[in-house]
Amino acid sequence: MTGALDGIRVLDLSRVLAGPWATQILGDLGAEVIKVERPGAGDDTRAWGPPSAELGGEQFSAYYLTCNRNKQSIAIDIALPEGAALIRRMAREADILVENFKTGDLARYGLDYDSLRAINPRLIYCSVTGFGQTGPYAGRGGYDFLVQGMGGLMSVTGKSADDPVKVGVPVIDIFTGLYATIAIQAALHHRERSGEGQHIDCALLDTSVAILANQGMNWLVGGVTPRPMGNSHPNVVPYRTFAAADGHIIVAVGNDKQFGALCRVLGRTDLAEHPDYLTNELRNRNRAMLEPELECEISSWNSAELLAAMDAAGVPGGPINRIQAVFADPQVQARGMVVPVATPDGHGTPQVRFPAIMSSSPATIRRAPPALGADGAAILRDLGLDDTEIQLLTKAGAICLPEANQGRK
């Protein structure tokens, strides 16, 4: 079976996480992805270790391995006229281009959307920046941590407003990559109907505002300024961590029936029948009285025994796993979430698979993350360049190839 995006060619001029996350998804879904990197250093994240893994005699940071599978790599200096001309030649044959340069930077090299649209009107060109192509912050650089603060996420994360805390993974980058992927696939559908490509403007700050979700709507509709509440939920009670006798667990009661079942497990049917706790609205309003009662009961239980009793009663709950426990979890293992991927030299690297399982056009991992410039010669030959032209580009500094690929003898 072929992937849903088989036959689609992606030119990836992005680096770090948001853009590469999007292009990796496109690659998982079957697209051919050509990653363009700077000669010498390559993607910034190649140096973001330790930890690192040695594959084929080269060091790959764990961060780089996170988001660069199913890609080929070519090292091109776009600041040189020959390098920029090579990108234009590649863009003529591409379906999608993803870039995360500062707003306006690529126009200096004739690689902006308007310039490339003139030579390929069907091109879908996705720009990923901190603050977007317009507005007073358009020229600023943006990073996930910075935007978690500016976009409100940190104001609702942590235990108190006096100690703001970021989310433990770069969720703004990841969500921006997901929104970019969704928009790109919508643009492909639009192109099927209209024959035209388009420009997609994705901003980390826009994403941060969008994923405020219920917290943002609490303000827009209710005029309530959300605050950090630790592991408690602003709208649902009881929906938080509780301390059992041997450690913390999560209780996630989503409706009145589940609350009644929890009370029966704890031997406190009086709480289920109490007029102050009959509905979620009442439990939310009276959480200061209810939750200490629950804390007292839960603290006497062994966590595994309580979770088993909750599961049998249909009450959602679970442990708080460390990362090693996640990958050892029988459900995670049964779902095959970790896939071993062989490198061309026979080495292997584990990868976390694309999480959606598609029955007719499944996502696949066909390539391990590439060494810098490893596919450059093959990519250029596919473009129609001969070995003499490749050697001239190498001598000019426009491309950088591993020695073994700089020309056939």
Q: Which residues are catalytic?
A: 173
User: According to the 3-state scheme, what is the secondary structure of the chain?
Assistant: CCCCCCCCEEEEECCCCHHHHHHHHHHHCCCEEEEEECCCCCCHHHHCCCCEEEECCEEEEHHHHHCCCCCEEEEECCCCHHHHHHHHHHHHCCCEEEECCCCCHHHHHCCCHHHHHHHCCCCEEEEEECCCCCCCCCCCCCCHHHHHHHCCHHHHCCCCCCCCCCCCCCHHHHHHHHHHHHHHHHHHHHHHHHCCCEEEEEEHHHHHHHCCHHHHHHHHHHCCCCCCCCCCCCCCCCEEEEEECCEEEEEECCCHHHHHHHHHHCCCHHHHHCCCCCCHHHHHHCHHHHHHHHHHHHCCCCHHHHHHHHHHHCCCEEECCCHHHHHHCHHHHHCCCEEEEECCCCCEEEEECCCCCCCCCCCCCCCCCCCCCCCHHHHHHHCCCCHHHHHHHHHHCCEECCHHHCCCC
